[in-house]
């Protein structure tokens, strides 16, 4: 795991854009979108908690961008049409330090998934795996998602030395 810490200025910026993102996704929080936010549903989050979820997810994307020296548009609306960072990096975040990387069929098979744990201001880059390799039938759960253990991920430092380096 690699620790990436975000400074106070970045935390403020992330929180502002987390609120903006939550407002843009308010229909998802209210259950009006066909693509539900399963974390929000499971925890029956109020709107302030949903804002926190969005801010921490955005913080994870910023941590990955910082580590790889990439810029990121905080106001992006990539959904699944574009990678979260760079050309091919799909960031998956969980606050749980020992959490799993979770993928769905909506994730682009040509991207590389990176698991990030933690919350503002401390994020841990846990590892990576190409999405087309991670989505194996034996990893599929009854809800259609794919859960990958951290032990099954490649060390984050190996990505720049891998054959996938030209995709980041």
Does residue 157 carry a pLDDT above 80? yes
pTM for this predicted structure: 0.88
| pLDDT for the residue 59 | 96
In the chain, what percentage of residues exceed pLDDT 90? Answer: 61
Label residue 38 by pLDDT band (50, 70, 90). Answer: low
In the chain, what percentage of residues exceed pLDDT 70? Answer: 89
**Residue 156 to residue 19: CA distance in whole angstroms:** 29
DSSP state, 153?
S
pLDDT tens-digit series, residues 63-102: 999 999 998 877 666 556 678 898 899 999 999 999 999 9
CA distances from 163 to 10, 37, 112, 127 (A): 32, 33, 12, 16
């Amino acid at each position: 795991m690699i620790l990436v810490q975000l400074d106070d200025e970045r935390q403020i910026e992330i929180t502002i854009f987390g609120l903006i993102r939550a407002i843009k996704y308010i229909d998802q929080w209210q259950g009006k979108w066909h693509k539900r936010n399963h974390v929000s549903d499971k925890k029956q989050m109020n709107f302030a908690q949903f804002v926190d979820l969005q801010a921490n997810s955005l913080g994870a994307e910023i941590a990955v961008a910082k580590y790889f020296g990439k810029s990121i548009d905080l106001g992006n609306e990539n959904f699944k049409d574009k990678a979260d960072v760079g050309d091919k990096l799909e960031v998956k975040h969980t606050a749980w330090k020992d959490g799993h990387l979770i993928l769905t069929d909506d994730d682009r098979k040509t991207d590389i998934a990176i698991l990030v744990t933690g919350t503002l201001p401390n994020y841990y880059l846990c590892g990576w795996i190409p999405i087309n390799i991670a989505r194996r039938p034996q990893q599929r759960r009854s809800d259609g998602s794919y859960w990958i253990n951290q032990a099954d991920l490649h060390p984050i430092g190996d990505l720049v030395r891998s054959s996938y380096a030209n995709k980041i």
